[in-house]
Amino acid sequence: MNHLHTNKFYINGSWVQPDGTDTLDVINPETEKSIASIAMGSAKDVDNAVAAAKEAFKHFSKTTKEERLALLEKILEVYERRSDEMSQIITAELGSPISLSINAQTVVGSGHLKATIKTLKAFDFEETNSEGDLIIRDAIGVCGLITPWNWPMNQIALKVFPALAVGCTMVLKPSEVTPLNALLFAEILDEAGVPAGVFNLVNGEGAIVGSTLSNHEDVQMMSFTGSTRAGTLITKDAADTVKKVTLELGGKSPNIILPDADLTAAISRGIKHCFQNTGQSCNAPTRMLIHESQYEEAIAIAATIALETKVGSPSQKGGHIGPLASEMQFNKVQALIEIGIKEGADVLVGGLGKPEGFETGYFVKPTIFINVNNDMEIAREEVFGPVLVMIPYKNEEEAIAIANDTPYGLAAFIQAGDVEKAKSVMRSLRAGMVRINGTDIGYASPFGGYKLSGNGREGGLLGLEDFCEVKAVSYPK
């Protein structure tokens, strides 16, 4: 961590001193001790970064697709060479077990970059429509990018690489909970030769740096990933300048286990996915829906599988889960577990407090609630911890109704013996992504959701189009 420019911002191709002197400690969630202190930005820092991006846009927006492809290829080379550093940093600041950091948290960065390169190669910036008019996609301009702490490189990659691909310039504000990976990312882009002003980074609070970006008259687009509450504030901030806003927000994703599914395999997949990353995933399958005739059997299977879930040190390799990312997140998860108990849901495994032997650190017990109905707060609020609710349903129609009875619509999961049957159910689900029998969408597929889960899509063709304006040109034929 010592080599990182923690006390500076990356603006106009250089590491610069911040406008003010405010700092914030970065806390290791395993030890609860500071591992670094970062500079916190002001409105003036944002102005400087936006001015650099605005100036750089004049030339970067005119680069060719081939030039930008060469730049992305160079970034990929540097990123992969420094991936071990990235994994170590994410483990230290997020508490992600090192195996998860290596195999998921870091590798998604190169995965999204490779998909962006592939998509850009096939992307047409100009086409002639059925009227004979020329339709042009231009880079939208200066983009404000705000990313979360739970999958930090995933979200940075899904914003920065498509923006670069189409010729945008940008200012990134990473989460202040996990800012160190973003500082390393800035080093990677600098080493790869990204032109000055094209990529800029300012650390700081959402209320200051984020709000200044959202309000800024020289920012043409805001791309935000985080809570629904913060997303609505950004949208309101952006309204006065009528800038484009794309949002990837929360979720309370259903996991429908159809009666013909392999019950043990389906429940095992569902629990492991829900608990992955200590439950800190917006698309986690946190509501498991089981046919009432199989509910008691499912409970017995779930208890066995959940008790096999190990909690351990992030520095140790293995399939265990680590701590939550922060004290604030720990307190939020504990409060929601307590609400679930007060509502009358029964704790199958886990519950309040820390696991035995983990007095220090933001560790929580992997928890499953049973005898839950979908009106309970524990079934409606996004917990963002390793907390699963198991809900019985009477028939397929009721399963679909329960699945859709949520303010969110990010993801949905179906487990079935008959895949065609699962596809039939899928068509009735109001969610941006549906995953059947443990499969996952590819890097070049659109990531995003319905309803309060946001608007816009990240990844692939739609991810590139989100960073474009469209120009229609008529001319004498």
Residues recognised as catalytic: 248
Task: Cite the DSSP H helix spans in 33-192.
Answer: 43-60, 65-81, 83-94, 98-100, 107-121, 152-166, 180-192
- Copy the structure tokens of residue 306: 């959940």
182 in helix, strand or coil?
A: helix
Secondary structure (DSSP) of 348-411: EE--SSPPTT--SSS----EEEES--TTSHHHHS---SSEEEEEEESSHHHHHHHHH-SSEESE
d(CA 306, CA 287): 15
Cα 467 to chain centroid distance, Å, stands at: 18
The amino acid that residue 259 corresponds to is: P
User: How far is it, in rounded angstroms, from Cα 372 to Cα 340?
Assistant: 9
Torsion, Cα 294 295 298 303, to 10 degrees, reads -160
**Element at 436 (helix H, strand E):** strand 433-436
Q: Could you please report the per-residue DSSP string of 300-358?
A: HHHHHHHHT--B--TTS-SS-B---S-HHHHHHHHHHHHHHHHHT-EEEE--SSPPTT-
Dihedral, CA of residue 294, residue 298, residue 301 and residue 306, to nearest 10: 180
Instruction: Please give the torsion angle defined by the CA atoms of residues 315, 316, 321 and 323, in that order, rounded to the nearest 10 degrees.
Output: -30
Helix (H) / strand (E) containing 9: strand 9-11
Residues 6+ apart with CB under 8 A from 85: 184
| 465 Cβ contact partners less than 8 Å away, ≥ 6 residues apart | 137
Cα–Cα distance for residue pair 463/460, rounded to 1 Å? 5
